[in-house]
Copies of this chain bind each other. A is one copy, B any other.
Amino acid sequence: MDGYSNPILINHVVQMDIPFKSLINFDKSSDLPVYRQIANSFIQNIQTGRIPTSSRLIGTRQLADLLGVHRKTVIAAFEELNSQGWIEMIPRKGTFVIKNLPEIKPVSFQEMERYMGCNLKNAGFYFEKSKIVIPEVITQKLAFNDGLPDVRLAPREELAKLYNFYFKNGEPSVFQYAHVQGNSHFREVFARILNETRSLSVSKENILSTRGSQMAIYLVGKALIKPNDEIIVGELSYRAATLTLTALGANINTIPVDGDGLVVEAIEEICLRKTIRAIYVTSHHYHPTTVTLKPERRLKLLALAERFRFAIIEDDYDYDFHYTNNPILPLASADKSGLVIYIGSFTKWLAPTFRIGYVVASEDFIQELSKWRRIIDRQSDTIMELCLADMIENGTLKRHAIRSLKVYHERRDFACEQLKSELGERIEFRKPDGGMAIWANFDKKYPLSELAPNCRKYGLYLHDGETFRSENGNLNACRMGFASMNIQEMGEAIRILRKTMDNMSI
């Protein structure tokens, strides 16, 4: 029945008119005790004006009969209501809803269903909608993704063992609030690895542990950028970073990218015209085009940063995965002035679900980042950090990296061969020296905006190239991750791609 049209809502305080039987709802099969459900139902009716302020309630015996419950249940509900302050029990007079509640325009049950508990299409107040784009979740088993690892290779057994250990035997401190920069032991171990493999010379004070490189980029942007600060990125650049820095108010300036990475020579001209706050660069494997920034450009970039005093945000998102030679030392290894802010992640070593990234920078800047870290997300995942530290120290992570590198190397070679032999002139790409994706330019006869949805009909995910096209109108290109599919799956994925293109050619 519709509470809105009920007489009690017009004629106040006439207890007889309150249709308790229809107003008070409960479900005996619920986990919540019936007396609490009755109390909550009363509160809901008071809060929404269906039982008005000062109303006299009927007796417990009468109500128990009406609702078909034991009288003790009603008494318990009334005691709860009394104790929470919603009703008053006045001896020899009866039980009343408390006085002086504001008058509430009663809401019908239908309206409640539509409006209650925040289930609204439109909030009752204005808020500005940002332009941030949320990436879709890829559900296809066959997927040319952005360049993700194969989660089936993740060291899950080892992680299970370590988690089990810490859950059962971890000191209380493991479960308490922790240092905002991340677990101290983890940072010590990790600093050692950075110094050894990347020729840095950092200590744990230079490291902030983050939730993946995404949080690292956000924090760096937050601490560095004020609205309308100017930053530089490549003409094509890692989309999520540009999005993040733009959302934080940065103005974006672009410079060309070629087969040797960012054309850093174009920076000077911009710096002579305006003050540049920072440059964002994926120096190791340029995102999206996968190329490596060549040595002389590295040194030129550093020299320009020194001359014009801008920060270099170096995002080294998949450092360890390089096939033609060993990983290249990061720009951070040659930073004499604290201008390089070095960002990385363990995601590519493990799996996307494990959000462990980091920022390496000067102590004072790390302290500033830590403040923002503190208010966006108080601390990182201590248990995961301890597990990682153990896996670094006992060699598991290294063995895993070597194993994965070998597998991904084979997959890269296989994917490149197959794409060449199956698709021939329809696709143009350069075999990447590292990383987990191929940057592929498609023949214009196969616009990705059509090709991608067509492939999906056969269960294959292919990027629709939209983000790259929007940055450069002429492009019909996308990244094709090769690491997450095994040889057999890759073969099938390329067959589907070919068949789809064949169909489009008819």
Chain A residues with CB under 8 Å of chain B are 30-32, 36, 39-41, 43-44, 46-48, 80, 83-86, 98, 100-102, 104, 107, 111-113, 115-125, 127-130, 132-135, 137-139, 148, 151-152, 154, 156-157, 159-160, 163-164, 167-168, 170, 172-180, 194-197, 199-203, 206, 211-212, 214-215, 218, 223-224, 226, 240, 243-244, 247, 277, 294-296, 298-300, 302-303, 306, 309-311, 324-326, 328-329, 332-342, 351-355, 360-365, 368, 370-372, 374-379, 381-383, 398
Most chain B beta-carbon contacts within 10 A, residue among A120, A152, A157, A338:
A120
Residues of B contacting A335 in the complex (Cβ-Cβ under 8 angstroms): 116-118
**Which of A129, A244, A336, A340 has the most C-beta atoms of chain B within 10 angstroms of its own C-beta?**
A336
Let me know if A118 and B342 touch, CB within 8 A: yes
Q: Are the CB atoms of B176 and A167 closer together than 8 Å?
A: no
The answer to whether B203 touches A371, judged by C-beta atoms less than 8 angstroms apart, is no
Q: Report B-chain residues with C-beta under 8 Å of the C-beta of A122.
A: 338, 362-364
Inter-chain contacts of A300 with B (CB < 8 A): 102
- Across-interface contacts of A113 in B (CB, < 8 A): 201
8 contacts between A and B (CB under 8 A): A117-B202, A117-B332, A118-B206, A124-B362, A130-B223, A138-B177, A215-B377, A240-B375
Q: How far is the CA of A355 from the CA of B211 in the complex (A)?
A: 12
Q: Please name all residues of chain B whose beta carbon is closer than 8 Å to the beta carbon of A102 when the two chains form the complex.
A: 296, 299-300, 303
Q: Contact check, A381 vs B381: say whether CB atoms are below 8 A apart.
A: yes
Q: Which residues of B contact A377 (CB under 8 A)?
A: 211-212, 214-215, 218, 355, 376-377
For residue A353, give the distance in angstroms from its CB to the closest CB of chain B. Answer: 5
Query: What residues of B have a CB within 8 angstroms of the CB of A173 in the complex?
Result: 139
Question: Does A151 contact B172, Cβ atoms closer than 8 Å?
Answer: yes
Chain B residues lying within 8 Å of A296, measured Cβ to Cβ, are 98, 100-102
Q: Could you tell me the distance between the alpha carbons of A160 and B167 in the complex, rounded to whole angstroms?
A: 6
Complex CA distance for A260 and B384, rounded to whole angstroms: 42
Among B218, B310, B382, the residue within 8 A (CB) of A376 is: B218
Contact B202 A86 (CB under 8 A): no
CB of B328 within 8 A of CB of A117, answer: no
When distances are taken between beta carbons in the complex, the residues of chain B under 8 Å from A31 are: 196, 398
In whole angstroms, what is the CA distance A243 to B240 when docked?
28
Bound Cα distance A375, B128 (Å): 17
- Known contacts being A123-B361, A309-B125, is A374 close to B135, with CB within 8 Å? yes
Shortest A64–chain B CB gap in Å is: 20
Residue from A98, A214, A376 having most chain B Cβ neighbours under 10 A? A376
Which B residues touch A148, using CB under 8 A? 176-177
> In the complex, what residue of chain B is closest to A331 when comparing beta carbons?
B47
Q: In the complex, which residues of chain B have a beta carbon less than 8 angstroms from the beta carbon of A101?
A: 295-296, 299
Q: Are B353 and A127 in contact (CB under 8 A)?
A: no
Closest chain B residue to A181, Cβ basis:
B134
Task: Chain B residues near A381: list those with CB within 8 A.
Answer: 353, 355, 381
The chain B residue sitting closest to A361, CB to CB, is B118
Cβ B123 vs Cβ A151 within 8 A? no
Known: A203-B119, A352-B177. A247 touches B375 (CB 8 A): yes
Q: Are A175 and B353 in contact (CB under 8 A)?
A: yes
A379 touching B355 in the complex, CB below 8 Å, given contacts A329-B40, A342-B118: yes
> Is B167 in contact with A374, judged by CB distance below 8 angstroms?
no
Contacting pair B83 A362 (CB below 8 A):
no
Q: Is the CB of B374 within 8 A of A134?
A: yes
Q: How far is the CB of A464 from chain B (nearest CB, A)?
A: 17
Bound Cα distance from A123 to B364, whole angstroms: 7
Other-chain contact of A84, B117, B178, B325, B368 (Cβ < 8 Å): B325
Most chain B beta carbons < 10 A, residue from A118, A125, A202, A333:
A118
Which residues of the other chain, B, contact A48 by a CB distance below 8 angstroms? 334, 336
Q: Complex formed: what's the CA distance from A167 to B157 in Å? A: 7
In the complex the two chains form, what is the Cα distance from A490 to B265 in whole Å?
Answer: 67
Chain B residues positioned under 8 Å from A375 (CB to CB): 132, 214, 218, 240, 243-244, 247
Given A43-B333, A352-B177, are A364 and B326 neighbors across the interface (CB < 8 Å)? no
Chain B nearest CB, measured from A115 CB (Å): 5
Q: Collect the chain B residues with CB atoms within 8 Å of residue A85's CB.
A: 294-295
Bound CA span A329–B117, Å: 11
* B107 close to A336 (CB less than 8 A): yes
Are the CB atoms of A295 and B84 closer together than 8 Å?
yes
Given the interface pairs A129-B368, A353-B176, A362-B119, the reply to whether A44 lies near B215 with Cβ below 8 Å is no
B176 and A124 contact, CB distance less than 8 A: no
Instruction: State the CA gap A378–B217 with chains docked (Å).
Output: 11
- The residue that A128 contacts in the complex, of B125, B226, B309, with Cβ under 8 A, is B226
Q: Are B374 and A132 in contact (CB under 8 A)?
A: yes
Q: Which residue of B lies closest to A155 (CB)?
A: B167
Q: Within 8 Å CB of A365, what residues of B?
A: 123, 127
